[in-house]
Structure 1
Amino acid sequence: MTSTLLRSNLKSEIREFLKLAIPLASAQVAQSAIGFADTVMMGRMGADVLGAGGLAAMIFLSIMTTASGIVMGVSPLIAEAFGSEQKNRIEQIARQGIWLTLLISLPLIIITGHLDIWLKHTGQSDKTLQYVNTYLDIMRWGLLPGMGFAALRATVSALSQARPIMIIVVGGTVFNIVWNYILGFGKFGFPQLGLAGLAIASVSALWGMFIALALYVLINQNLKNYRIFQRLHQVKPQILWELVWVGVPIGIFTGLETGFFMVIMFWMGTLGTEVLAAHQVVLQTIVMVFMVPLGISYATTVRVGLWLGRNDRIKIKQAAWVSMSISTLFTLGVSIAFLLFPKQIIGIYLDVQNPDNAAIIAIALPLLLTAAIAQVLDGLQKAVYGALQGLQDTQIPMFMNILGYWGIGLSVGYGLGFGLNLGGVGLWIGQLVATVVVAVLFIWRFNHLSQE
């Protein structure tokens, strides 16, 4: 009887988890397709544009993900309130999440517009800096809608309404890719704007997705009962502080993780344009695959937060292990594909038959093989981190991230890449080591908390 009940509970958890994870992971993949399409189009514009445009996109991604991570503190708090059926608290958290979006995004728009002052000291060429500035001067206007969408997405997904998120993101992605092509290459009578055209299309898509999700929250029968957009003028400092307490470590964690990859990219840039271009090809591929574990982690936060609200420790463990198993199986399958078909994957971005690309391809192949191994553990650690967020444990994982990525990963990568002259491969091995360390620390942390 007990065994049958356990199997029934497990099947129920898998079913409910997948209802959240599939739309959220699909939305993340669709959103990352924007960067994927940008990279493909940058590659068709030349190696210089590919390297510099990839660097600019990575800088913007670092800023956006850090800021969005802070407002993502909305998700575990609302999930817990939803589990304990506190409707008034759900409304208040959602409203303060919107306030937090405004308080963070407005200063960031100004800061992003003046990054060229700092970038001059990073050792990049003048041509690279020119492309980066062109891209960021436009993309900064996407910070407000991007963060607003993240806050609303966290609210809607925590209330187990994930499907519209997927539909909106897919629509925004299709719009972005089409207008990337039109504005980037000057099709259908529009001017050829190159990198600037890609940025204009991306900002337009971010505003469209934010407005669409806000309208859905206003008109959906289940969601409009929470009256999220009513009494927005009321600022609740205590709830804002709760969001900051949970969300700032998430933002710092995300920023440090993204910043780690940005430092690696800067180091790649010092090794030459070809190394930077090869790195961008591999990184963009990994980022797109990584969106599935990221979407899974969002679902994990919601499921664990829900069971935390109901004070059910057994179900918390069950939700976490379901997430870790699904994420690991997915990344393992993709890694095998990378190991079997590396040239075909690189061929998505570059013409492998063109002798002008031979040097980039020769560099990219070993980088892709190293990344294939790293992403399995990266998927695992992201799932565990989602569970830790659901438990509202964000401070300690932040310090574990600093130790793993910035303490060990960068040291190993720099030592191998420059000390032993392994170049880009050495830097990627550093990333692999960092991922192993952080995954082990997170699993230990979750086991410790779940036994209390």
Structure 2
Amino acid sequence: MQTSIRTEFREFLRLAIPLASAQVAQSATGFVDTVIMGRLGSEILAAGGLGAITFTALLNTISGVVIGVSPLVAEAYGAGCKTRVEQVARQGLWLSLLLAIPVMFLLGNIDLLMRQFGQQATTVALAKTYLDIMLWGLFPALAFATLRSFVSGLSHARPVMVIVIGGTLFNIAGNYVLGLGKLGFPALGLRGLAWASILSLWGMFLSLVIYILKHKKLKAYRLFENLHQLQLPIFRELVVVGAPIGVSAALETGLFTVVTYLMGALGTVVLAAHQIVLQTIIVIFMVPLGMSFATTVRVGQWNGQKNLAAARQAGYVGIGSGVVFMTMMAIALLVFPQQVIGLYIDVRASENASVLTLVMPMLTIAAVAQILDSVQKTASGALYGLKDTRVPMFISFCTFWGIGLTTGYLLGFHFGLGGTGLWLGQSIGVAIAAGVFLWRYRQLSLSKSW
């Protein structure tokens, strides 16, 4: 048993390290964006953060749908069915295109919704400037997510890491040059950050396409042949598996997005403090998110081989790894809070005193909550590997919105805890989700039969 666990852990790390590294690198762009926004002023930080979380929320939702490619490809690969791998990946690209078009239209008119949530007029105007450019990065981001699911489902995750790191470095350089106006370029502010992002998204997508076409093993799958054919049975299956994943992602990301809007209703200073905490947590959370993707692939591959014992073990390896990592990160945040906050603002400046006062308790709550957040994310990834996506969707709704948002709203607005209450409430929802997902995986992995 110890030998098999070590072997599974080694195979898990082969996928988890590049996938998690890619997620961290990609989120580093948002981190750098936030740092630059902070240098441009608290108003830009609040508006840019609002625009970024709105874009991210919608992208994560529809990316969740196309990530349904991952368990289906992993299962087909485990079963040795090459033709089905090709068909699933092709329909994933179709799905990316069909999802991108309506969401681009929504982003183009999102300012109407922002006003309904009580955001200040100047904040909405600045956020819309950012989003009007960012919407053109939706399709390449979705198509890249599809191809990433394809190659990782075949246990080829390393090129994803290399491409994402390259795209991230380009994005960071573009942010510096276009956002702040360096090397002779005009200072475009939020517009410059948006232009750098979409150029990076298109570059990463095209780079992965070229890699697949050139790689000896991957090009054997003939992914881009007969790409014009829409195969409705497989497309429908992909939607059935992927749509609940997308809804779950929407419920989770939507919770943080709505909380961000509620923070904005409490004032610009509260929103700026929240953005510092949220961006920090997002960067760290990318590691268990990458672990979740790897867990889905490993469980899915064993599922395709009809080996339930190995699939169950793969799930627990992924969950345990997430807990260990996030515990270390929580300790670091609790021990060095001033250093973390100092990455965004000058903690010694008197004008930032009000922001600093609000950030400290939020960061403490978020640090502890991330341990359980890693459980719910990796456990849900294990469930997706078993193609169990509908029940997790309902669990997400009940815990994130029924408990987390309701509790946060009551604590923040009715009990006078403000932004700290909102963070505490959403963390309670995440904690309950973690317990239920873990219980669900244990029950299903012990009882599932083919």
Range class of TM-score, shorter chain: over 0.9
**Structure 2 Cα separation of the partners of residues 246 and 89 of structure 1:** 15
Q: Name the TM-score, length of structure 2 as normaliser.
A: 0.99
**Structure 1 Cα separation of the partners of residues 305 and 297 of structure 2:** 13
Cα offset, 1:444, TM superposition = 1.2
Identity across matched positions, percent = 53
Which residue in 1 is equivalent to 2:341?
346
Cα offset, 1:445, TM superposition = 0.8
Letter aligned with residue 145 of structure 2: A
**Structure 2 Cα separation of the partners of residues 116 and 424 of structure 1:** 23
Cα offset, 1:117, TM superposition = 2.2
| Structure 1 residue 187 corresponds to structure 2 residue 171 | no
Which residue in 2 is equivalent to 1:41?
36
- Summarize deviations over 1:245-299 as a string: whole Å, max 9, x none: 0000111110111111011011111111111000000000000000000000000
Cα offset, 1:115, TM superposition = 1.3
> What is the count of residue pairs matched by the alignment?
447
- Kindly report the root-mean-square deviation, in angstroms, between the aligned alpha carbons of the 2 structures: 0.6
Contact 1:268 1:279 in 2 (8 A): yes
Which residue in 1 is equivalent to 2:225?
230
- Summarize deviations over 1:366-393 as a string: whole Å, max 9, x none: 0000001100000111110110010010
**Structure 2 Cα separation of the partners of residues 353 and 127 of structure 1:** 28
**Structure 2 Cα separation of the partners of residues 73 and 448 of structure 1:** 22
Contact 1:417 1:423 in 2 (8 A): yes
**Structure 2 Cα separation of the partners of residues 288 and 50 of structure 1:** 17
After TM superposition, the structure 1 = structure 2 runs for residues 52-451 of structure 1, keeping only pairs within 5 Å, are 52-451=47-446
Cα offset, 1:447, TM superposition = 1.0
**Structure 2 Cα separation of the partners of residues 51 and 105 of structure 1:** 26
**Structure 2 Cα separation of the partners of residues 26 and 383 of structure 1:** 16
Cα offset, 1:233, TM superposition = 1.5
**Structure 1 Cα separation of the partners of residues 262 and 108 of structure 2:** 23
**Secondary structure at the residue paired with 1:188?**
coil
Cα offset, 1:226, TM superposition = 0.3
Which residue in 2 is equivalent to 1:3?
none
**Structure 2 Cα separation of the partners of residues 365 and 116 of structure 1:** 31
Contact 2:117 2:265 in 1 (8 A): no
Cα offset, 1:107, TM superposition = 1.9
Tell me which stretches of 4 or more aligned residues in structure 1 moved more than 3 Å: none
**Secondary structure at the residue paired with 1:451?**
helix
Which 10-residue stretch deviates more, 103-112 or 418-427? 103-112
Q: Which runs of 5+ in 2 are unaligned?
A: none
Cα offset, 1:348, TM superposition = 0.5
Cα offset, 1:416, TM superposition = 0.8
Contact 1:71 1:100 in 2 (8 A): yes
**Structure 1 Cα separation of the partners of residues 268 and 111 of structure 2:** 20
Which 10-residue stretch deviates more, 168-177 or 262-271? 262-271
**Structure 1 Cα separation of the partners of residues 358 and 202 of structure 2:** 37
**Structure 1 Cα separation of the partners of residues 324 and 113 of structure 2:** 41
Contact 1:374 1:431 in 2 (8 A): no
**Structure 1 Cα separation of the partners of residues 227 and 78 of structure 2:** 24
**Structure 1 Cα separation of the partners of residues 235 and 123 of structure 2:** 40
Contact 1:94 1:155 in 2 (8 A): yes
Cα offset, 1:118, TM superposition = 2.1
**Structure 2 Cα separation of the partners of residues 296 and 28 of structure 1:** 10
**Structure 2 Cα separation of the partners of residues 115 and 286 of structure 1:** 25
- Summarize deviations over 1:400-451 as a string: whole Å, max 9, x none: 0000010001111111111110111111110110011100110111111111
Q: Which runs of 5+ in 1 are unaligned?
A: 1-5
Which residue in 1 is equivalent to 2:13?
18
**Structure 1 Cα separation of the partners of residues 16 and 172 of structure 2:** 24
**Structure 2 Cα separation of the partners of residues 152 and 17 of structure 1:** 20
Letter aligned with residue 151 of structure 1: T
**Structure 1 Cα separation of the partners of residues 115 and 335 of structure 2:** 41
Contact 1:279 1:424 in 2 (8 A): yes
**Structure 2 Cα separation of the partners of residues 280 and 120 of structure 1:** 19
